[in-house]
Amino acid sequence: MAFSRAASVVAFAALLAVPVVFDMFTAYQLGLYLIFGMVGQGIALCWGRAGFLPLGQALFFGMGAYIAGAALKSADGNLVLLAPLLVLAIIVPALLAALVGLLVFNRQIGSGPYFSLITLALAMLGFQLANSADTITGGFNGMTGIPGLPGFDSYGNLYFVVVGVLAIVSLGLFWLLKTPFGVLLSATAQNEERLQFFGFSTSALKAAAFGISAGLAGLAGALYAPHQGIVTPQSVGFLLSAEFVIWTAVGGRASIAGPVIGAVVIGFLASELRDTFRYWEAVIGLIFIVTVLKFPQGLIGLAELLKRRLSKADGNTARIRDINAPAREAGGAPALAFEDVRVTMGPVRILDGLDFRINRPGIHAIIGPNGAGKTSAFNAMTGRLPLTSGGISWRSRSLADLKPFQVARTDISRKFQIPSVFPELSVDENLDIALWANRTGVSDLFSMRPLRWRSDLYDTLTERFPFLKDGGGGIAGSLSLGQRQMLDFSMTYLTEARLVLLDEPCAGLSASETGAMIDAIAAINSDLGSTAIIIEHDMRVVERLSDHVFVMHQGRLLAEGDIAAVRANPDVKAVYSGGTK
């Protein structure tokens, strides 16, 4: 940490010294590459953090450049007029991208290659528009005669403006990635679905990241226009978009400095080699392929590998948590109702008139043979499985047609059968996300305070499962299967949701771990007074935890009652001992 901070200071000092040490022309060239690098920083935010790749980033760059060019030409040195117009060069691309992102991500989950194609097509469209709207953009020949920023010389001190903006942008990104928003972006890339079950709208998160990246591209474009004095449709098109992606990949898509380093290194190499070595650009293509396949973290990744060889890893201790997380309001009494729920897929009836009610806190168990529809009942409840008919309501609010994150916001928390955590985040960050669920507003996402949140339940859980605290700095992906189950379970309860859905929480646990898990479920659920529904095959677990058992068979409720009543039920006996009905 201290190392990279020192390195950044040295790097910026070196950037400031370039015009003195070399000459103004070198600084001018470097300035252009730094501008391009800023666009790459935005791409890295989307690609390296949030996990989706925008392929048409030049659209926003060119848009900013055209707006800034028009502003500089029309303002004619009047700063009062110029400043707000230049702000538009950032805002307009950012809003457009955020809108596109919201529309697309609302319908598609994951890294979505189709999103990349959409951005590519948008850049092609932008190129056509810039080419044909010659009254505004100057058409094919471009917008020419753009004056410099008032008081700055394009071949002289404008360079220092570029370096200054780059410093501010880099610091801003550094801060952004530390905030809860930054953590949630990484979480989106690693396990988008799980994040939705904590009540976060991942489409909004991704759209925000895309908007920020487009704003950065617009800002870079606004510097490009006075720097070059001309903006042509090429600045919007697909070839420049492709180069942005190459620079970002080669420099390092997951870092802040990487894209800038990539743009500068490749930029200077290109200007040296372009005229003497005709296969130079083919070499760049080759370097890109090798980077993508073998070194996804780019040059920065290689540097960090070296650094790790040289220095020992820092400790795994949990961080200080000294602020009480906002208390969750108790909400009303539990009232869950399945009313004649049917889900059919083609000829298969997954749920076939499932009908039951839960009206009191405590642990309720669902049992039944494989294929009975137990997990499907959870899926139907949490927005993963659309209902064919019937209705599901929770505290008199219908859950049908809600998306998973909206279901989570109605105070429902769900644990999947296979432990589902954020593998490349630290254990601490995993717990953070659960603590933030339904407790954070937009302003909290951009504050450092939620990183210090604690709750009484956090203390209880870390006492029960000490590895959550002692190994808090280690990444969740390196935990054993049992520990991941416990982490996932802890996260599910840390939300303090009133309704908790547990799908085979003891699957894959050893006998002693199962014991610890059962104790934890029983103790914590009664402490919180929550309502839990647990799917379980192991009757010993059911017996220990639950006095209210639902038996499902072939998508329907077969029996309901305490465990003795259920055992005595002839229908249940018939199903479990293989008899005929």
Partner 1 sequence: MDLILTNGMNLVYAVATLALIALGLAVVFGLLGVMNMAHGEFVMLGAFSVYVTQQAGLPMLAAIPLAIAVCAIVGYLVEWSIVRHLYSRPFDTLLATWGLSILMRKLVEAGFGRDYKSIDQVLPGTVDVFGIAYPSYRLLLLAVIAIFFGLLFAWYRRSNTGARIKAMVSNPQLAAAVGIDTARLARMTFVFGVCTAGLAGVALAPLVRVEPYMGIDYLLSSFFILVVGGLGSLEGLLIGSSVIGGTDTVISTLFAKTSGYMAVLLISILFLWLRPDGLFSRR
* Contact set with partner 1 (CB under 8 A): 53, 55, 103-104, 107-108, 111, 113-114, 116-118, 120-122, 124-125, 128-129, 131-132, 238-239, 242, 245-246, 249, 278-279, 281-282, 284-286, 288-289, 292-293
CB 242, min distance to partner 1, A:
6
Nearer Cβ to partner 1, position 290 or 568? 290
Nearer Cβ to partner 1, position 42 or 226? 42
CB 27, min distance to partner 1, A:
29
Region of residue 357 (phi > 0: left; psi between -120 and 50: alpha; otherwise: beta): beta
Task: Report the 10 Å Cβ neighbour count for 281.
Answer: 13
Name residue, tokens 């005595």. Answer: 568
How far is Cα 547 from Cα 361, in angstroms, rounded to an integer? 11
Nearer Cβ to partner 1, position 62 or 199? 62
How far is Cα 337 from Cα 356, in angstroms, rounded to an integer? 6
CA distances in angstroms from 499 to 356, 358, 489, listed in the order given: 15, 10, 14
CB 168, min distance to partner 1, A:
31
CB 245, min distance to partner 1, A:
7
Pure H helices in 355-397 = 374-381
CB 101, min distance to partner 1, A:
11
β-bridge pairing 556-561 and 397-398: unpaired
Nearer Cβ to partner 1, position 273 or 507? 273
Nearer Cβ to partner 1, position 121 or 269? 121
- Residue pair 435/450 in contact (Cβ under 8 Å)? The answer is yes
Nearer Cβ to partner 1, position 289 or 418? 289
Nearer Cβ to partner 1, position 282 or 564? 282
Nearer Cβ to partner 1, position 45 or 341? 45
CB 186, min distance to partner 1, A:
17
CB 109, min distance to partner 1, A:
12
- Residue pair 454/322 in contact (Cβ under 8 Å)? The answer is yes
CB 272, min distance to partner 1, A:
17
3-state secondary structure of 53: coil
Closest C-alpha to 448, from 321, 328, 316: 321
Nearer Cβ to partner 1, position 138 or 148? 138
CB 111, min distance to partner 1, A:
5
3-state secondary structure of 516: helix
CB 108, min distance to partner 1, A:
7
Region of residue 395 (phi > 0: left; psi between -120 and 50: alpha; otherwise: beta): left
How far is Cα 77 from Cα 147, in angstroms, rounded to an integer? 9
Nearer Cβ to partner 1, position 197 or 238? 238
- Residue pair 209/46 in contact (Cβ under 8 Å)? The answer is yes
Nearer Cβ to partner 1, position 291 or 410? 291
Distant-in-sequence contacts of 272-279, Cβ < 8 A, 24+ apart: none
How far is Cα 93 from Cα 23, in angstroms, rounded to an integer? 34
Nearer Cβ to partner 1, position 125 or 564? 125
CA distances in angstroms from 567 to 362, 537, 564, listed in the order given: 20, 14, 5
CB 97, min distance to partner 1, A:
14
φ, ψ of residue 384 to 5 degrees: the values are -100, -15
Sign of CA dihedral 202, 203, 207, 208: negative
- Residue pair 43/240 in contact (Cβ under 8 Å)? The answer is no
Closest C-alpha to 180, from 473, 447, 496, 453: 447
**What is the per-residue burial (b if ≥16 Cβ within 10 Å, else e) of 143-172?**
beebebbeeeebeeebbebbbebbeebbee
Nearer Cβ to partner 1, position 117 or 327? 117
Gyration radius of the chain over CA positions: 28
Closest C-alpha to 88, from 101, 74, 100: 74
Burial bucket for residue 316 (CB in 10 Å: 0-12, 13-18, 19+)? middle
Closest C-alpha to 378, from 485, 536, 533: 533
